[in-house]
């Protein structure tokens, strides 16, 4: 057990209660550490919002990709060559800042982020219960380097 488990489980519990009360259909669920405000909270997105946000990004991405190709800049083109099927832009998620808890990640943050990931894994079945299509459910979490550093599909059990 990690010293963080009860805090992260509380965040997820609180988020699930809010989402259940709203009748939310979860497509993407994130546990997020805000390194500026020193806190952890959950975010959740719906399929409709995620796909709409991804379409907007893909249109923007396609324009940059073709501009880079026209300029014969393969390095820049390769940076725009990804076509996501869903949005991982946490700030654009439908449900934000759920279950906030004040907590500061230590300098040796590997155990902190591992505890966040384990909290998602430990609560995965409960989160999936709020998805009409659990096979499409994706979890994500930030890490020390990126806002969305870890992503994976739900696996029952």
- The answer to whether 137 touches 120, Cβ cutoff 8 Å, is no
Q: What pLDDT band is residue 25 in, cutting at 50, 70 and 90?
A: very high
Q: Which residues contact 20 (CB under 8 A, 6 or more apart)?
A: 130
> Is the pLDDT higher at 103 or at 60?
103
DSSP-derived letter for residue 152 is: E
List the chain domain ranges: 5-55+85-153
Residue linked to tokens 């509380």: 10
Mean pLDDT of 114-130: 98
Mean pLDDT of 70-99: 88
DSSP per-residue codes, 90-143: GGG-SEEEEEEEE----SS-HHHHHHHHHHHHHTHHHHHTT-S-GGG-EEEE--
In this structure, of 63-72, 115-124, 128-137, the range with the lowest mean pLDDT score is: 63-72
Q: What percent of the chain has pLDDT over 90?
A: 70
What is the per-residue pLDDT across 92-108, written as a single tens digit (0 to 9) for each? 999 999 999 999 988 87
pLDDT at 83 over 70: no
Mean pLDDT of 17-45: 97
Angle between helices 5-22 and 110-122 (to 10 degrees): 40
Q: What pLDDT band is residue 140 in, cutting at 50, 70 and 90?
A: very high
Highest mean pLDDT among 55-59, 129-133, 146-150: 129-133
């Amino acid at each position: 057990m990690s010293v963080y488990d009860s805090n992260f489980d509380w965040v997820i519990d609180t988020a699930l209660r809010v989402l259940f009360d709203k009748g939310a259909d979860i497509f993407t669920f994130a546990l997020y550490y805000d390194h500026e405000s020193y806190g952890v909270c959950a975010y959740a997105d719906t399929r409709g919002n995620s796909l709409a946000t991804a379409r907007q990004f893909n249109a923007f991405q396609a324009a940059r990709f073709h501009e880079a190709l026209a300029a014969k800049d393969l390095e820049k083109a390769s940076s725009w060559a990804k076509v996501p099927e869903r949005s991982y832009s946490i700030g654009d998620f439908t449900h934000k800042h759920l279950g906030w808890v004040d907590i500061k990640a230590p300098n040796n943050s590997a155990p902190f982020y591992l505890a966040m990931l384990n909290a998602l894994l430990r609560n995965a079945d409960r989160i999936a219960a709020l998805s009409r299509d659990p096979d499409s459910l994706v979890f994500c979490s930030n890490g020390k380097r990126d806002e969305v550093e870890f992503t994976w599909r739900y696996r029952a059990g």
